[in-house]
């Protein structure tokens, strides 16, 4: 059975997030995913600044969004971000579900590779990352 870490972050749709039709512009869902991912990692003591200060980057290598229902200006969205800890390799896949007023409106995923900043080459997960997960008794 996979061990999943999860965090829910709430955001309010800004006017700038909407298109001419008053609906959240499709490309903004990736920005919402970023908020969810960042807050999930931060909630586990693994802020992106930690990776960068240790010389690692986590660039996006793949993304996908399924749109089920629209969101509008001033809506409150709940972004549920998850990470399957057992599936961690040199690539991480974060999964997302977005809800508006309790209604499911979108889901998807992003994949990120660990890169060593000085070489810009893919690497295995850094030792500090694995150790942090172990300290949290996650793996």
Instruction: Check if the beta carbon of residue 96 is closer than 8 Å to that of residue 81.
Output: yes
Any catalytic annotation for residue 19? yes
Q: What angle do CA 111, 33, 96 make, to 5 degrees?
A: 75
b (16+ CB within 10 A) / e for 17-43: bbeeeebbeeebbeebbbbbbebbbee
Report the distance separating Cα 78 and Cα 135, nearest Å.
Answer: 28
Q: List the catalytic residue out of 19, 74, 75, 86.
A: 19
Question: What's the gap between Cα 123 and its chain centre?
Answer: 20
Just list the catalytic residues: 19
């Amino acid at each position: 059975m996979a061990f999943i870490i999860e965090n829910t972050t709430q955001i309010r749709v800004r006017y700038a997030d909407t298109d001419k039709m008053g609906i959240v512009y499709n490309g903004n869902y990736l920005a919402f995913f970023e908020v969810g991912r960042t807050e999930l990692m931060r909630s586990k003591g693994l802020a992106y600044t930690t990776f960068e200060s240790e010389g690692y980057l986590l660039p996006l290598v793949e993304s996908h969004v399924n749109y089920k229902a629209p969101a509008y200006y001033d809506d409150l969205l709940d972004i549920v971000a998850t990470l399957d800890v057992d599936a961690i390799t040199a690539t991480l896949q974060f999964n997302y579900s977005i809800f508006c007023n309790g209604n499911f409106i979108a889901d998807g995923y992003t994949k990120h590779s660990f890169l060593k900043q000085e070489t810009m080459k893919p690497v295995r997960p850094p030792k500090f990352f694995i150790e942090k997960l172990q300290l949290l008794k996650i793996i």
